[in-house]
Amino acid sequence: MSEFDLIRRHFTRATPNTFLGIGDDAALLQVNEGNVLVVSSDILISGIHFFPDAEPFKLGHKTLAVNLSDMAAMGGMPRWVTLSVALPDADEPWLERFSSGFFELAQQHGVELVGGDTTRGPLTLCVTILGEVPARHALRRSGAQIGDEIWISGTLGDAALALAHLQGNIELEACDYDCCALALHQPQPRVSLGLALRGIASSAIDVSDGLLGDLGHVLDASGVGAEVEFDQLPASRVLRKIESFDRYILSGGDDYELCFTAPAKWHAEIMGIGSRIGLPLACIGNIVAGRDCIVHDAAGNLFEAEAGSYDHFR
C-alpha cells in the first residue's frame, strides 16, 4: 500500500464545513466574521506518551482528545485538525482501529481532518487543531484576579493511578483499574464547558501535567497567588482508597480536566452550567495576593505538597 493509498483509505473523510480540504498542497479555511483563530499542537511519541502496545482505537481517541482539551481551555470552538503520523510500517488493521477512534471523537465535536503528512519511522503522532472564538471571549491564563474562586471539572488523579498500576508502582484490583483506565486511555475533553465559560471565567487551563503545576502557570501568568482546600478536591471512590493519594490528585498528569477561575458572583451560574452539561464542577479555593499556591487540610493547616508538574527535560 502506497502512502497515498494509506491516506485515502484511512484518513480521508468528507469536509463539508471546509472551503478546501485534503487533496491540494494546503487546506483553505474560513473563520467566521468577528472571530479569531485558535491553534494548538501536540506530539505523542511511542514509549514516552503511550505504551508501544497501546490499543489503537483508544490511542486514536486520545491523540485528538488532548488537542480538544487545549481548545476547551481557550473557550474555542474546534473546527479543523491536521494529523501527521510516522509509522514503522503500514499495518492496515492497526490503522483501521486508530482512525476509527480518531474519527469517532472528531465526529462528536464536529471537527474535520483537513491535512497532515505520513512517513516511515518510530510511531509518532502529531495533531494541530484549529478553532475559533470571539476575541473578547477567549479564555487565557493571565486573567485571574484576587478574590476569584478556583474551580475544577470532573475528578483528578485516576489517570495517574492507572499509569502507576501499568508501570508496576502500585497494584489495583481489576475492577478498580478498569474504572481508572478510562481516564488514562480515553479522556473526555471539556469542550462544552469551555464554551459555556465564555464571559464568565477570568482564566482557564487544562490539567494535563498535574493540578498544582498547571494552576501554577495561571498564577505566574496572572501575577497572583492561590489558597486551595485539599478536602474540596474531587477524587473518585477508587482513588480515595489509596494510601497517600494526594500525590495523584495534586501532581498526577493526564487528567485533561479544566481548572478555571471566576468572580464569586458567578458561583451559582457555574453550578448551573455543571448541572446543564452533566459535569461535576467543584470550587476548590480562591485567588489571593502574593505568588504562592498554598494548600490547606481539613483543619486549616498547611498541607505539604510538591507543586511541580511533568517536564520532559527534567
CA 117 to CA 95: how far, in whole Å?
Answer: 14
Which pTM value belongs to this model?
0.92
In the chain, domain spans:
3-137, 141-296
Q: For position 176, what pLDDT does the model report?
A: 95
Let me know how long the chain is: 314
Neighbours of 200 (CB within 10 A): 17
Q: For position 34, what pLDDT does the model report?
A: 92
Q: Which CATH number is 3-137 given?
A: 3.30.1330.10
pLDDT in tens, the chain (314 residues): 667 777 777 777 778 888 878 777 888 999 999 999 999 999 999 999 999 999 999 999 999 999 999 999 999 999 999 999 999 998 899 999 999 999 999 999 999 999 999 999 999 999 999 999 999 999 999 999 999 999 999 999 999 999 999 999 999 999 999 999 999 999 999 999 999 999 999 999 999 999 999 999 999 999 999 999 999 999 999 999 998 899 999 999 899 999 999 999 999 999 999 999 999 999 999 999 999 999 998 777 887 665 555 554 45
Do the Cβ atoms of 293 and 216 come closer than 8 Å? Answer: yes
CA 154 to CA 260: how far, in whole Å?
Answer: 12
Do the Cβ atoms of 139 and 219 come closer than 8 Å? Answer: no
* Domain 141-296 in this protein, CATH class: alpha beta
Do the Cβ atoms of 250 and 239 come closer than 8 Å? Answer: no
Task: Output phi, psi for 194, to 5 deg.
Answer: -55, -40
CA angle 121, 123, 127 (to 5 degrees): 110
Cell readout for 236 is 473518585
CA 132 to CA 38: how far, in whole Å?
Answer: 5
Task: Output phi, psi for 309, to 5 deg.
Answer: -125, 170
Does the CA dihedral 168-178-45-86 come out positive or negative?
A: positive
Do the Cβ atoms of 99 and 10 come closer than 8 Å? Answer: yes
Do the Cβ atoms of 249 and 304 come closer than 8 Å? Answer: no
Neighbours of 197 (CB within 10 A): 27
Q: For position 153, what pLDDT does the model report?
A: 98
